[in-house]
Copies of this chain bind each other. A is one copy, B any other.
Amino acid sequence: MAKQDNEKKKISESTIHRLSLYYRALSLLEKENYETISSKELAKREKLTPAQVRKDLSFFGSFGTRGLGYPVSELKTRISQILGIDRVWNVAMVGVGNIGSALVSYKEFQKQGFSIKLIFDNDQRKIGSNHKGMIVSDIKEMSTLLRENNIEMVILAVPAIVAQYIVDEVVEAGIKAILNFAQINLVVPDDVFLRNENMSMELEYLSFALSNQYTPG
């Protein structure tokens, strides 16, 4: 709480997630040679309300021109600064099973500035093998290699059963940001950011929706 006092105001998680959406929309608009975009049009593209778009953007100062809208390129640059994606992040993938190896080849990560620099596994058959031009390293060398390569984020794609053990080592190596694909609640110290990606959740939402005849939207 106290730590956030130097921020103008607290920015909600939903706002951050919408910034990701705006960023993607603006990238597209840039390609379509738009110079400006109104909150109305941006809202329409992302299925939001114009007021919401304006409120979100107003957190970071006045950027639009009344009567005209927002300058596409400038706004895109500004959002990338806010999200911290105006740079390249050094990422390591831990686990080269189904999900892990698919994500190593996933171009969107690279595109947004998340550069996978190292890959780890504990399976002797995988260690030393080539994945997208990268050699799979032994997980035993993780601590050293993470430090040597200035890795800042780790993506965990290991079986749930070993995930806590591995995350402890990752934390030990000084990593402060972890994206976890394992279906388990991991424990990390207070100064480490941990996010979980639960791909079943959205399928379960669809299941709920179909079962309960909810109105889509």
Given A152-B210, A185-B47, A210-B84, also A109-B1 (CB < 8 A): no
Question: In the bound complex, what is the Cα–Cα distance between A209 and B152 (angstroms)?
Answer: 12
Q: In the complex, which residues of chain B have a beta carbon less than 8 angstroms from the beta carbon of A7? A: 212
Question: In the bound complex, what is the Cα–Cα distance between A153 and B193 (angstroms)?
Answer: 34
Q: Please tell me if A166 contacts chain B, counting CB pairs below 8 Å.
A: no
Given A1-B215, A210-B193, A213-B3, also A205-B109 (CB < 8 A): no
- Number of interface residues, chain A, beta carbon within 8 A: 70
* A112 nearest in chain B by CB position: B200
* A101 nearest in chain B by CB position: B102
> Are B208's CB and A109's CB within 8 A?
no
Given A24-B183, A108-B183, A214-B4, also A206-B198 (CB < 8 A): no
Interface residue ranges of A52-93 to B (CB < 8 Å): 82-85, 89, 91
Question: In the bound complex, what is the Cα–Cα distance between A154 and B102 (angstroms)?
Answer: 19
Question: In the bound complex, what is the Cα–Cα distance between A176 and B190 (angstroms)?
Answer: 42
A25 CB → nearest B CB, Å:
8
Question: In the bound complex, what is the Cα–Cα distance between A192 and B98 (angstroms)?
Answer: 30
Contact of A3 among B112, B196, B205, B215 (CB under 8 A): B215
Contact of A102 among B13, B83, B99, B207 (CB under 8 A): B99
> Are B153's CB and A206's CB within 8 A?
yes
Q: In the complex, which residues of chain B have a beta carbon less than 8 angstroms from the beta carbon of A144? A: none
Q: In the complex, which residues of chain B have a beta carbon less than 8 angstroms from the beta carbon of A109? A: 199-200, 203
Q: In the complex, which residues of chain B have a beta carbon less than 8 angstroms from the beta carbon of A197? A: 199, 202
16 pairs, CB–CB < 8 Å, chain A vs chain B: A1-B215, A19-B208, A20-B204, A23-B204, A25-B185, A84-B212, A98-B106, A99-B106, A106-B199, A108-B200, A109-B200, A112-B200, A114-B207, A177-B207, A195-B206, A196-B202
Q: Taking A1-B215, A24-B183 as given, write out 7 further A-B residue pairs in contact, using a Cβ cutoff of 8 Å, ordered by the A residue number.
A: A84-B212, A98-B102, A112-B203, A177-B209, A179-B202, A191-B216, A197-B199
